[in-house]
Amino acid sequence: MSIRLGRHTIEFSSKPKILATHSIVGPKEGRGKYKEYYDDILKDDTNGKNSYEKAESSLILRAIEKTIAKAKLLESDIDYIFAGDLLNQLTSTNFAMREVDIPFFGLYGACSTMSESISLAAMIMDGNHAQYVLAGTSSHFSSAERQFRFPLEYGSQRVLTSQWTVTGSGIILLGKNGDKKLPSITQITTGKVKDYEIKDANNMGIAMVPAAANTILNHFLETGKKADYYDYILTGDLGKYGKEVLIELLKEDGIDISKNYIDCGDEIFNECEENICAGGSGCGCSAVVLTGYIYKSLLKGDFKKILLVSTGALLSTTSSLQGETIPGIAHAVAIEMI
Amino acid sequence: MSIRLGRHTIEFSSKPKILATHSIVGPKEGRGKYKEYYDDILKDDTNGKNSYEKAESSLILRAIEKTIAKAKLLESDIDYIFAGDLLNQLTSTNFAMREVDIPFFGLYGACSTMSESISLAAMIMDGNHAQYVLAGTSSHFSSAERQFRFPLEYGSQRVLTSQWTVTGSGIILLGKNGDKKLPSITQITTGKVKDYEIKDANNMGIAMVPAAANTILNHFLETGKKADYYDYILTGDLGKYGKEVLIELLKEDGIDISKNYIDCGDEIFNECEENICAGGSGCGCSAVVLTGYIYKSLLKGDFKKILLVSTGALLSTTSSLQGETIPGIAHAVAIEMI
């Protein structure tokens, strides 16, 4: 039986294991500091497709197929898949899903989708409703840029707080079986929508900070853990400015994450790349860092305990045009070698 | 312990109860045949807001608040809410969620969202991860029409297979407690994405039929029930033409639903309304029929066993412009007085 530690946090007695992952990224991500950890690095970010949306769809489909194959399973062994992406009506996920024969739950949590999908997959596993569940997400710079901002052909100028949407997809497979020592999902802390009335759509990292701070604070309050319990605390895509603000905000609550905190968006690109500005963003950002660098480092024994806090900015182009501020959400997932 | 009856179907031993519901609809829906069952009928479909998106958001927020109040609970008693809508980036749901202090999972399943949200809420309840969970969705004719089709000011002509998006929101509260005889979620059958290569975005009812047929077929194969087990089998929004095709398709599989089958979209509007064409559609369609007519009839004892099969067409304006066909999905939820 799992234990509810507080209003936002559940501890899983069954500790679902991550049996396999697959990470696939675009060329720019493939030149970043985590390059040796990705499974697939595209030479061409269209992946041979005739639109960026179809390219993104092909990434998530490939990540699903490769994850299942790595675990030596068949599609028919998988009970459910939880997935979503940034595109209107989950275009890339839904079109990938028609190619696979797996019961499917579509999610939208903006860039929080990786930890949202893992949270739900882990609860379903822990409740004995499934043997094998897939969870994951994707994003693509070019499909996101032209949907949320400007046509790519404009070559519009970027400001210092802009972030570069990650091209990539990460999928994990949760299961119970296997004697092998594998990373497990031990706790989840589910987020609430927080809006501190930031309106600047070119500064989404900052807009997501209150949601991240709230979820991390709830996690430590409800679990009784200290920040140094984890080898790393990772946020999704607050970027280099959001990261600094998060550290300060949590300090006010008596939580010092400055020594073991990294933001996936701040780390994912090589700093000498053009136009990265405040770092990476997108659902794919924390997805490929988790399924690449983190998962493989946990397997190698480089570290043992991490807290993944994927962060989503819940704006739409319509809401921005109607003068609305930017709400955010963040879900935390504790992953440990136990 | 719940039992997995097959690849798509789970039977819940705990049988989560529907403790309360709230249904809110626009004026046109409020003149339909189910008018006496809705809790709230708007006089003005803007609900006093200055945009249709904000109006839709206010509907789902009101439905949430009223549902919690009916159960004599507080926001702080609710463990999770599962919700989503049709708008890009779930605009109406996400902006409603910032007004409530409840851990939130955002979903996108197009018009299948009502049964998707109930399926997940029921699994989380059954797995002992929560005491109280909300599930629901909303749609609005004017926000959907201008996002997916044409500016409202065009007054564009509609074809016979067009459907009219329902303005409304329906929320249910699942819980375990209470001795009172209440409708329970007994089984769920989760859908897969099906695409029979229909391209006509003015004929979405037909595009969703293969998904509905597949889910209903799986439900009866895996549960061993016959079609006449249920007092009513309800699809979400196949409309008057889709409904006929579904009956024929299932007949080929030896399942005769012709005697106890209704489509919420086919029923929801008064036939003398202008421009309804093939019937209602939208996430809100099956949501308000369930939380209005069905829930109250179950409580009154008018009937005892229903199968709700909300149906979603997973197209986007981008996918249509890129020449893509329309994939569909459908999730089934069995609701019984037991």
Residue-wise pLDDT for B291-333, tens only, equals 999 999 999 999 999 999 999 999 999 999 999 999 999 999 9
Find the residue in B nearest to A130 (Cα): B4
A2 to chain B: which residues are within 8 Å by CB? Answer: 127-129
Residues 6+ apart with CB under 8 A from B302: none
Q: Is A52 helix (H, G, I), strand (E, B) or coil?
A: helix
By the 10 Å C-beta count (0-12 exposed, 13-18 middle, 19+ buried), A3 is classed as exposed
Q: Is the pLDDT of residue B179 over 80?
A: no
A194 to chain B: which residues are within 8 Å by CB? Answer: 98
Residue A338's pLDDT is what? Answer: 86
Q: Is the pLDDT of residue B1 over 90?
A: no
Q: Could you tell me the sign of the dihedral formed by the alpha carbons of A112, A215, A189, B178, in that order?
A: negative
pLDDT digit string, tens, across residues B234-275: 999 999 999 999 999 999 999 999 999 999 999 999 988 988
Residue A178's pLDDT is what? Answer: 67
Residue B155's pLDDT is what? Answer: 85
Nearest alpha-carbon partner for B222 in B16, B74, B71, B11: B11
A6 to chain B: which residues are within 8 Å by CB? Answer: none
Round the average pLDDT of chain B to a whole number and report it: 96
A108 to chain B: which residues are within 8 Å by CB? Answer: 84, 89-90, 106-108
Find the residue in B nearest to A322 (Cα): B51
pLDDT digit string, tens, across residues B50-76: 999 999 999 999 999 999 999 999 999
B326 to chain A: which residues are within 8 Å by CB? Answer: none
Stretch A67-89: mean pLDDT: 97
Q: Which of A174-188, A196-210, A313-327, B53-67 has the lowest mean pLDDT?
A: A174-188
B4 to chain A: which residues are within 8 Å by CB? Answer: 79, 129-130
Chain centre distance of CA B24? 13
DSSP symbol at B294: I
The secondary structure element, H or E, covering residue A298 is helix A295-300
Q: What ipTM was estimated for this complex? A: 0.98
The alpha-carbon gap from A36 to the nearest alpha carbon of chain B, in Å, equals 33
Q: Would the CB atoms of B89 and A102 count as touching at under 8 Å? A: no
The whole-angstrom separation of Cα B114 and Cα B236 is 9
* CB-nearest partner of A190 from B80, B100, B108: B80
Q: Would the CB atoms of A108 and B90 count as touching at under 8 Å? A: yes
Residue of A143, A185, A316, A324 best to disrupt the B interface, most CBs of B under 10 A: A316
A88 to chain B: which residues are within 8 Å by CB? Answer: 88-89, 316-318
Stretch B182-204: mean pLDDT: 95
* CB-nearest partner of A2 from B100, B106, B128: B128
Residue B220's pLDDT is what? Answer: 98
In chain A, the DSSP E strands lie at: 3-4, 9-11, 17-25, 40-41, 80-85, 104-106, 132-139, 164-165, 168-175, 183-189, 232-235, 261-263, 280-281, 305-313, 328-337
* CB-nearest partner of B318 from A88, A130, A191: A88
- Please state, for a pLDDT cut of 90, what percent of chain A lies above it: 95
pTM beyond cutoff 0.90: yes
The whole-angstrom separation of Cα B171 and Cα B60 is 8
pLDDT digit string, tens, across residues B120-152: 999 999 999 999 999 999 999 999 999 999 999
Q: Would the CB atoms of A119 and B103 count as touching at under 8 Å? A: no
* CB-nearest partner of A127 from B7, B100, B123: B123
Q: Would the CB atoms of B322 and A108 count as touching at under 8 Å? A: no
Q: Would the CB atoms of B107 and A108 count as touching at under 8 Å? A: yes
Stretch A61-82: mean pLDDT: 98
Residue A2's pLDDT is what? Answer: 83
Q: Would the CB atoms of B190 and A4 count as touching at under 8 Å? A: no
Residue of B74, B91, B94 best to disrupt the A interface, most CBs of A under 10 A: B94
Phi, psi of B239, deg, nearest 5: 75, 180
How many residues are recorded in chain A? 338
